[in-house]
Structure 1
Amino acid sequence: MWDRIREKIAGLGVSARVDAGGDREKGTHNLFDAAAAYVSASAEDDQDGIEEAASWVSPEALSFGVSELACRAVIALARERDESPRKVARDLLGLPVA
């Protein structure tokens, strides 16, 4: 079931072509490419990178990709720390443990 949902959503993410200067010389970006580039650029405070990544897919697709990346990152960090995903997420946001 999840595979079918991911395939449908991934179809939404294929968008703009990239000219020379991107990670790919000529090709398309999917929502996960865009999410990874967007989050990386945000972490580096790279406004040009943020704007470029945001132009690759629709805002809805980018939002889904960023959300999926956040979930995967929290799960990976929780496993690494041997803590619950809820505790890790709250720690990352500076919130008290509920």
Structure 2
Amino acid sequence: MWGRFRRAGGRVADVLRTERKAGEGRRPHNLFEAAASYVTACADDDQARADEAAGWVSPEALSFGVNELACRAVIALARERGEPPESVARDLLGLPAA
């Protein structure tokens, strides 16, 4: 039973690990690097670069990273504009004010 927990914990640690493993030339990309590259590639309409970034992490991790990036971007814009985050998000999406 404990062996299954150890193996599962090891897989989680491998996903989150950003340092190099023995024999690796470069460290693996983390989910925030993948999200940043994916979003900027989509903004530049560069499908090849978006596909490459999407392959760096699992789809779930990429989704989490993109969500975190969106939240941080809306908060930063709201602070810059002096507006509430909800109105900034609605404005970015072209939605009418609530």
Q: TM-score, normalised by structure 1?
A: 0.76
Identity of aligned residues (%): 68
**Segments of 4+ moved more than 6 angstroms:** none
> In the aligned structure 2, how far is the partner of 1:77 from the partner of 1:86?
11
Please give the secondary structure, in 2, of the residue aligned with 1:80. Answer: helix
Equivalent residue, structure 2, for 1:91:
91
Equivalent residue, structure 2, for 1:21:
none
> In the aligned structure 1, how far is the partner of 2:48 from the partner of 2:17?
20
> In the aligned structure 2, how far is the partner of 1:11 from the partner of 1:77?
34
Name the Cα RMSD after superposition.
Answer: 2.3
Q: Which runs of 5+ in 2 are unaligned?
A: 1-11
Equivalent residue, structure 2, for 1:31:
31
> In the aligned structure 1, how far is the partner of 2:90 from the partner of 2:41?
23
Q: Which has the higher contact order (CA 8 A, sep 6+)?
A: 1
1:14 to 1:56, Cα distance in 2 relative to 1, 3 A: farther
Q: TM-score, normalised by structure 2?
A: 0.76
> In the aligned structure 1, how far is the partner of 2:80 from the partner of 2:26?
37
Give 1 or 2 for the bigger CA radius of gyration: 2
> In the aligned structure 2, how far is the partner of 1:69 from the partner of 1:46?
19
Q: Which runs of 5+ in 1 are unaligned?
A: 1-8, 18-24
Matches within 5 A, 1:9-48: 12=15, 26-48=26-48
